Amino acid sequence: MPVARPESSDSRVIAHVDMDCFYVQVEQRRQPDLRGQPTAVVQYNAWKGGGLIAVGYEARKFGVKRSMRGDEAKSVCPEIQLVTVPVARGKADLSIYRNAGSEVVAILSRKGRCERASIDEVYLDLTEAAEKMLSETPPESVEAINDEVIKSHVLGLSAEPSDVRQTVREWLCQRNADRRDKLLACGAFIVAELRMQVLKETQFTCSAGIAHNKMLAKLASGMNKPAQQTVVPFASVESLLDPLPIRKMKQLGGKLGHSLQDDLGVNTVGDLLQFSEEKLQDRYGINTGTWLWNIARGINGDEVESRVLPKSHGTGKTFPGRNCLKTIDGIERWLSKFSEELAERLEADLEQNKRIAQTLTLHASASKANEAQSQKKFPSKSCPLRYGTNKILEDALNLFQAGLREYLSSSSKAHGNGCSGWGITNLSISASKIVDIPSGTCSIMKYFHSQDQRYPSSKEFDDKEIHESTALSPSVGSESSSRKHLLEPETECSKDGTKMNIVMNIVMQAHLDDKSRMFEEKTQTSFCRESLPSSTSAKKNEPQLDSVGEETVIKDAISGNRSQDQKGKAFKEKGTSSILQFFQTQNCSSSIQEPKEETVNAIQETAESSCSGKADDTVPLESGGIRNMHHSADQSRVACMYKIDEIDPNVVDELPREIQEEVRAWLRPQKRANNTTKRGSSITHYFSPNKNM
Ligand code: DCP
């Protein structure tokens, strides 16, 4: 639903930059022979030459369009070069395009707040940069104006074609202009400079719109393509919007746009002007009514968000017609590929950007086998995200099954009888609610002391943690209030706690999942953390985590399991916890082990929150861990302990940087005391099965 936001100022300078025929440019950079030739990028599916997804401007001159398939494009342009999207795991692999988009964003973000809006689009707030230029080097003081600036299109300027450049130059440099226009003129200089820089550093051209808000800038960026820029002076807003078909406006392509056309006879944005704000509010509600009233006048207060990284990661595939997926095996096969890709991308994001995603969402579309089904959409579902291919796959499958159950039951209800057939034509998973790992001054102690959650049982997990999501917008999927609370803790303290849990979860689950899979498979057991009494030596050697007066709390980051009574036991055993518990060694057995002399810490349990005291809160991510454990609920449990002198420093390197130092500090004295570490071993060493088991 559109949100009506008042303009914070009508003299902001906002740019929308859109790459030209982006995938084609990326392919032409990879294969320079394609430059200057009519080129299109086609989808992996080779039927009829594959569907075109990007068409170069040379090919557009021949009438080639994105709606065509390769064969049709060849018939209108026999010389066309068709490049197939790279393929991995049996589906399109967009990573080269994504990475190319990131190169561009890195350049564009140099001059102001930058919001990556899609794989090839960016919004920039250049207000400060424009104000600075206006006060220090106003356009009229610039001696040699670059051609790229002079080539700008300024809406509302009328000139004979031969005079256009001179007219634009005069508009850019007018001394007595309205300040808003002067700022836009500065914006034109800055954007031209950025575009030239993008070309120089990446070989890509882009087009841009420069206006006082995002809506107008976006409308303008597509008006003159490729490799051009368009400025929307305040005075030209009305003439820009007046004839614009209403359905071309963002958020008016769907139901709302239809209603405006069918119910109010509004076909262009200008048609909206005849309706008062009250009338629009009566009809569409206060918020949407005001939003419509605003857009008719070019008012849009949306801020450029500071975001250069993607908001979510998603992967999926369509299975049209007879290719639709009809069995759980087929679904699992594809979800397995998607999970692998998503896990890789999440790990890369964690590694490069220190970000973690919190929500996993599954979207699917089903073919309509009967009338009842045609009324019903396959519901999107989401749950807390757990890192590691296997965990993502497991959760995605559960989400699919929850969605399918609901889809079939509602279909059969509507039909009044059983409804067996189903076919999935579109399947995807995405990871959203991505947050930064807190950095810098945050100490691990702070995280420990901000733990304020307890684990839900697996039943609780099943009931609470699968949620409906809004089909097209995983990040805004509807959530139950309990879930919302879990994912958006209100206090800073609990927020950090959640993040720490996530961090631990990532580090350890990923390793358990992907690096010690063999162990899990061989032993057919689950890791289980048991509360063990600390030995004297353990106490002596233990890092002084409780120096802040509370038992340190570390949650189940190793996808560990424990029962309620184990929890109770844990509460009683003070002073034994440490992050070091996360490093499990080969010292595991199928029964609970007594700690050995040199064991510093037993596998640890949790305590109550030292922060908010919200004892009823649950930890979404770890709940996943719990549930995972229930796969092997009847199997023997394994208590795992570590020997501090066997902890490989490489393991520490794999923790988030923020906590590495602290962990190293704990390890140092141990190393001196007993220098038996086998260097060069990897974390897998600590997960390898006990040969004596
Ligand atoms: N894309 C896609 N499938 C679509 C539309 C687009 O895979 N249905 C990809 C290919 C495009 C890229 O996204 O190159 C950007 O899409 P745009 O709509 O911005 O179109 P182009 O950049 O290709 O062309 P233009 O110069 O018209 O913006």
Question: In Å, how far are 269, 366, 602, 651, 658 from 642, measured between CA atoms?
Answer: 68, 49, 8, 13, 22
Which of the given ranges, 179-188, 478-487, 669-678, has the highest pLDDT on average? 179-188
Evaluate: CB of 538 within 6 angstroms of ligand 1: no
Task: Please tell me the distance from the alpha carbon of residue 40 to that of residue 32, in angstroms, as a whole number.
Answer: 14
Q: Which residue has the higher pLDDT, 348 or 686?
A: 348
Cis status of the peptide bond prior to 226, with omega within 30 of 0: yes
Q: Of the given ranges (17-21, 34-38, 69-73, 252-256), which has the lowest mean pLDDT?
A: 252-256
Q: For residue 12, is pLDDT > 80?
A: yes
Percent of all residues in the chain with a pLDDT value above 70, rounded to a whole number: 60
Q: For residue 313, is pLDDT > 90?
A: yes
* Per-position DSSP letters for 258-310, written without gaps between them: HHHHHHH---BGGGGGGS-HHHHHHHH-HHHHHHHHHHHTT---PPPP-B-S-
Q: For residue 692, is pLDDT > 70?
A: no
Question: Tell me, what amino acid is at 97?
Answer: Y
What letter does residue 103 receive in the DSSP assignment? H
Q: What per-residue confidence (pLDDT) applies to 649?
A: 54
Most informative mutation of 20, 22, 30 for ligand 1 (most atoms within 8 A of CB): 22
**Two tokens, residue 119:** 């794989």
CA 47 distance to own-chain centroid: 31
**Two tokens, residue 628:** 């995972």
Report the chain's mean pLDDT, rounded to a whole number. 72
Evaluate: CB of 17 within 6 angstroms of ligand 1: no
pTM: 0.65
Q: What per-residue confidence (pLDDT) applies to 465?
A: 59
Q: Which of ligand 1's atoms lies nearest the C-alpha of 207? A: 26
Within 13 Å, how many C-alpha atoms sit on residue 411's CB side? 25
Q: Which of 377, 400, 545 is nearest to 471 (CA)?
A: 377
* Per-position DSSP letters for 644-669, written without gaps between them: GGG--HHHHHTS-HHHHHHHHHHHHH
User: Could you list the active site residues?
Assistant: 121
What are the tens digits of pLDDT across the range 81-117?
999 999 999 888 999 999 999 999 999 999 999 999 9
Q: Residue whose CA is closest, atom 1 of ligand 1?
A: 53
Q: Give the confidence band of 372 by pLDDT, cuts at 50, 70, 90.
A: low
Query: How many Å lie between the centroid of ligand 1 and the Cα of residue 109?
Result: 21
Q: What per-residue confidence (pLDDT) applies to 363?
A: 97
Q: What per-residue confidence (pLDDT) applies to 230?
A: 98
**Strand ranges in 334-448 using DSSP code E only, listed in sequence order:** 355-366, 380-384, 424-436
Q: What per-residue confidence (pLDDT) applies to 10?
A: 75
Query: How many Å lie between the centroid of ligand 1 and the Cα of residue 557?
Result: 41
Question: In Å, how far are 309, 312, 444 from 354, measured between CA atoms?
Answer: 11, 14, 16
What are the tens digits of pLDDT across the range 491-515?
233 334 444 444 555 444 444 444 4
What is the three-state SS of 321-333? HHHCECCHHHHHH
**Two tokens, residue 569:** 């036991």
Q: Would you give the end-to-end CA distance of the chain in angstroms?
A: 59
Query: How many Å lie between the centroid of ligand 1 and the Cα of residue 472?
Result: 18
Q: What per-residue confidence (pLDDT) applies to 279?
A: 96
Q: What per-residue confidence (pLDDT) applies to 499?
A: 45
Query: How many Å lie between the centroid of ligand 1 and the Cα of residue 316?
Result: 18
Task: Please tell me the distance from the alpha carbon of residue 300 to that of residue 10, in angstroms, as a whole number.
Answer: 9
Is residue 572 within 8 Å of 675, Cβ to Cβ?
no
Q: What per-residue confidence (pLDDT) applies to 548?
A: 26
Q: Residue whose CA is closest, atom 5 of ligand 1?
A: 53
Evaluate: CB of 22 within 6 angstroms of ligand 1: yes
10 Å Cβ neighbour count for 569?
15
Helix (H), strand (E) counts: the chain: 28, 19
Query: How many Å lie between the centroid of ligand 1 and the Cα of residue 54?
Result: 5
Evaluate: CB of 120 within 6 angstroms of ligand 1: yes
CA 176 distance to own-chain centroid: 46
Query: How many Å lie between the centroid of ligand 1 and the Cα of residue 52?
Result: 10
Task: Please tell me the distance from the alpha carbon of residue 278 to that of residue 672, in angstroms, as a whole number.
Answer: 76
Evaluate: CB of 461 within 6 angstroms of ligand 1: no
Most informative mutation of 53, 118, 221, 315 for ligand 1 (most atoms within 8 A of CB): 53
Q: For residue 259, is pLDDT > 70?
A: yes
Task: Please tell me the distance from the alpha carbon of residue 341 to that of residue 315, in angstroms, as a whole number.
Answer: 7
Evaluate: CB of 19 within 6 angstroms of ligand 1: yes
Evaluate: CB of 26 within 6 angstroms of ligand 1: no
Q: For residue 477, is pLDDT > 70?
A: no
Question: Dihedrals φ, ψ of 239, to 5°?
Answer: -70, -25
Q: Which residue has the higher pLDDT, 505 or 480?
A: 505
Q: What per-residue confidence (pLDDT) applies to 659?
A: 54
Q: Which of 110, 134, 107, 120 is nearest to 13 (CA)?
A: 134
Q: Of the given ranges (4-13, 278-287, 392-401), which has the lowest mean pLDDT?
A: 4-13
